[in-house]
Chain A
């Protein structure tokens, strides 16, 4: 029996906009196994971020979860009381955002921003408010050392803008991990960073994951990152999961034409002779979508039977694809 820390079933998240109902997440089913890293890949607008905002209970008006179930550690999160959800956030499930510069509050020192999350959740703090704050500050310093801030004790009371981009990202990770969460959702942790710093930050997350026995969701549009750091991968397109499975299998033998396209648009050093093959067209708008294959218009393999409802089908155990004629490129 598999041990899932997070299980999402048929999740549907909609936005009630002026131009009509937009279904940003349409029937997503996925799971994160305890202690592993799941990569979630897709273009912007594919619904990957909204899926995990739904998990955090952070979908803002006019958005709402229309149907589906999200179970964390066996506990249903959809419909959970706001207070209970709040107790869970930052403590058991933590999240980092794309750009630490905008995610950290410019008006408070970094120590304050770490301390407040400890004060909100850490039950091991004891004594008066002052005593608790003192203990939290000590822990904050430990966290800053853990994420590798040089001379952390002197920088504790600096403001976010006084740090470099990579250091800010580390501080955000320190905040997210301050309460030793069971699950970390890292939303595009490297997009805003220089290439050299990207690897450092990802190594840091992987390193801490091992130390803290944590499960990680890595939201990214970079399949290279997924190949390197993730055990399993979910590929999303236009609000749906179109392929999911063990990273090794999906990267080596992608079944869905979109996944193949994503891999095809990455230039590879090992194969410079190969022509880079970008995917034609753009992501469809997410309102009033017909129940046909959403990738059809951009697909080289499209034919008339793609104009029907396409269900996920199994390639191997744990490996699913949403295509009626799946298969590796050239072989289908």
Chain B
């Protein structure tokens, strides 16, 4: 892919991002009640003070000007103040973001390392009992309600077997001075293997729960694309060349078969973002998803808006990255 094409693609993102922002902005207009009243709660203030507050918040402007103000502020990371936390919204979000990023990456990792070998095996042993089990398993995977699956895992591994902790992302004893704010990475950087092990024990169940639907989907995709690839002429030709069975599978088949898998994985990473709220609630994970859920009950609308915008922008960028990955992996596709 040429640099020019890349720029072209990036420019194509702009209308989508603008549209996404517009919809988030329209959501703010739907908010019931008067923002100033909500902010003030039961406090009695003079009309003058209320008017000046209204002016400060830009509420006296016509909607289109308010949209531009909203955009300009959002671009600077200014989403207003979270009165509940008595902090700027962005600071609250930023403090919760690393935990969510770490969990999402771990879920992606779990999904990739389980789905690809399982999918390849199902394709290679097509119609065997193993293949059937894999198909049934993936059906269960996409049909499983995440919150219930998480609870079952907790019940088994944390409550009954007592192997794993019930909630949170780290024990108090194994705190590490932050560098990246990703606990697993920080623990390794600081050489604290006890903390690493502790963080791993905390993250594994939420990561499996979050990654389950993705695992199921990726397994199906890998199986299907592997079956397709194994029927291609270049596999027969590789056999005719007298290459070994493993070399044919691992080199000739897998590289082609993984193109759809990786593309779908990149797209589905966005859907991990959606699953965050449920999984973080079940496992008491101190991330952005749980913050959003809490904010609904505290009617913390500025925070919800900022989070929705952040999720949406991330989602759009992930899809963009999926596109780029697809082009890089597949030398035949020209943008």
Contact flag (A, B; Cβ within 8 A): yes
Residues of chain A having any CB pair with chain B under 8 Å: 56, 58, 86-91, 94-95, 97-99, 102-108, 116-117, 120-121, 159, 161, 172, 175-176
Residue in chain A with minimal CB distance to B239? A58
Contact B332 A90, beta carbon cutoff 8 Å: no
Render B240-267 as a binary contact track against A, CB cut-off 8 A, 1 for contact: 1111100100011001100000000000
Max count, chain A CB within 10 A of own CB: residue among B239, B247, B255 = B239
Contact A105 B242, beta carbon cutoff 8 Å: no
Contact A58 B256, beta carbon cutoff 8 Å: no
Residues of chain B having any CB pair with chain A under 8 Å: 232-234, 236-244, 247, 251-252, 255-256, 330-332
Which residues does chain B contribute within 8 Å of A106, judged by CB atoms?
A: 234, 256, 330-332
Residue in chain B with minimal CB distance to A178? B241
Question: Within the complex, what minimum Cβ distance (angstroms) separates B325 from chain A?
Answer: 14
Contact A90 B234, beta carbon cutoff 8 Å: no
Task: Report how far A106 CA is from B256 CA in the complex, Å.
Answer: 8
Question: Within the complex, what minimum Cβ distance (angstroms) separates A286 from chain B?
Answer: 21
Contacts known (A105-B256, A106-B331, A106-B332); A175 close to B241, Cβ less than 8 A: yes
Contact A159 B242, beta carbon cutoff 8 Å: no
Task: Report how far A107 CA is from B255 CA in the complex, Å.
Answer: 7
Question: Within the complex, what minimum Cβ distance (angstroms) separates B329 from chain A?
Answer: 8
Contact B234 A102, beta carbon cutoff 8 Å: yes
Residue in chain A with minimal CB distance to B234? A105
Contact B242 A90, beta carbon cutoff 8 Å: yes
Contacts known (A107-B331, A159-B331); A97 close to B233, Cβ less than 8 A: yes
Question: Within the complex, what minimum Cβ distance (angstroms) separates B256 from chain A?
Answer: 5
Task: Report how far A105 CA is from B331 CA in the complex, Å.
Answer: 11
Contact B240 A94, beta carbon cutoff 8 Å: yes
Residue in chain A with minimal CB distance to B331? A159
Which residues does chain B contribute within 8 Å of A58, judged by CB atoms?
A: 236, 239-240
- A-B contact count, CB below 8 Å? 77
Residue in chain B with minimal CB distance to A102? B233
Which residues does chain B contribute within 8 Å of A172, judged by CB atoms?
A: 237
23 interchain pairs, CB-CB under 8 A? A58-B236, A58-B239, A58-B240, A86-B243, A87-B242, A88-B242, A94-B240, A94-B241, A98-B233, A99-B233, A104-B234, A104-B237, A105-B234, A105-B238, A106-B331, A107-B252, A108-B251, A108-B255, A120-B247, A121-B242, A161-B332, A175-B241, A176-B240
Contacts known (A58-B236, A103-B233, A105-B252); A89 close to B241, Cβ less than 8 A: yes
Which residues does chain B contribute within 8 Å of A120, judged by CB atoms?
A: 241-244, 247
Contact B244 A97, beta carbon cutoff 8 Å: no
Task: Report how far A176 CA is from B236 CA in the complex, Å.
Answer: 13
Contact B237 A97, beta carbon cutoff 8 Å: yes
Question: Within the complex, what minimum Cβ distance (angstroms) separates B332 from chain A?
Answer: 5
From A91, A99, A103, A161, give the contact of B242 (CB < 8 A).
A91
Task: Report how far A309 CA is from B184 CA in the complex, Å.
Answer: 77
Question: Within the complex, what minimum Cβ distance (angstroms) separates A327 from chain B?
Answer: 40
Which residues does chain B contribute within 8 Å of A90, judged by CB atoms?
A: 240-243
Residue in chain B with minimal CB distance to A88? B242
Contacts known (A103-B233, A103-B234, A105-B234); A117 close to B332, Cβ less than 8 A: no
Question: Within the complex, what minimum Cβ distance (angstroms) separates A58 from chain B?
Answer: 6
Task: Report how far A86 CA is from B244 CA in the complex, Å.
Answer: 7
Which residues does chain B contribute within 8 Å of A89, judged by CB atoms?
A: 239-242
Residue in chain B with minimal CB distance to A106? B332
Which residues does chain A contribute within 8 Å of B244, judged by CB atoms?
A: 86, 120
Residue in chain B with minimal CB distance to A187? B240
Which residues does chain A contribute within 8 Å of B252, judged by CB atoms?
A: 105, 107-108
Task: Report how far A97 CA is from B240 CA in the complex, Å.
Answer: 10
Task: Report how far A172 CA is from B330 CA in the complex, Å.
Answer: 21
Task: Report how far A159 CA is from B255 CA in the complex, Å.
Answer: 14
Contact B256 A107, beta carbon cutoff 8 Å: yes
Task: Report how far A98 CA is from B237 CA in the complex, Å.
Answer: 10
Which residues does chain A contribute within 8 Å of B241, judged by CB atoms?
A: 89-90, 94, 116-117, 120, 175
Contact B237 A103, beta carbon cutoff 8 Å: yes
Which residues does chain A contribute within 8 Å of B251, judged by CB atoms?
A: 108, 116
Question: Within the complex, what minimum Cβ distance (angstroms) separates B244 from chain A?
Answer: 7
Question: Within the complex, what minimum Cβ distance (angstroms) separates B251 from chain A?
Answer: 8
Which residues does chain B contribute within 8 Å of A108, judged by CB atoms?
A: 251-252, 255
Task: Report how far A94 CA is from B243 CA in the complex, Å.
Answer: 12
Which residues does chain B contribute within 8 Å of A116, judged by CB atoms?
A: 241, 243, 247, 251
Which residues does chain A contribute within 8 Å of B256, judged by CB atoms?
A: 105-107
Residue in chain A with minimal CB distance to B230? A60
Residue in chain B with minimal CB distance to A99? B233
Contact A117 B243, beta carbon cutoff 8 Å: yes
Question: Within the complex, what minimum Cβ distance (angstroms) separates A18 from chain B?
Answer: 12
Which residues does chain A contribute within 8 Å of B233, judged by CB atoms?
A: 97-99, 102-103
Residue in chain B with minimal CB distance to A82? B245
Residue in chain B with minimal CB distance to A181? B242
Task: Report how far A102 CA is from B231 CA in the complex, Å.
Answer: 11
> Which 8 pairs show the lowest CB-CB distances between chains A and B?
A90-B242, A89-B242, A102-B233, A90-B241, A103-B237, A95-B240, A105-B234, A117-B241
Task: Report how far A105 CA is from B255 CA in the complex, Å.
Answer: 10
Task: Report how far A121 CA is from B243 CA in the complex, Å.
Answer: 9
Contact A56 B240, beta carbon cutoff 8 Å: yes
Which residues does chain A contribute within 8 Å of B247, judged by CB atoms?
A: 116, 120
Which residues does chain B contribute within 8 Å of A98, judged by CB atoms?
A: 233
Residue in chain A with minimal CB distance to B237? A103
Which residues does chain B contribute within 8 Å of A117, judged by CB atoms?
A: 241-243
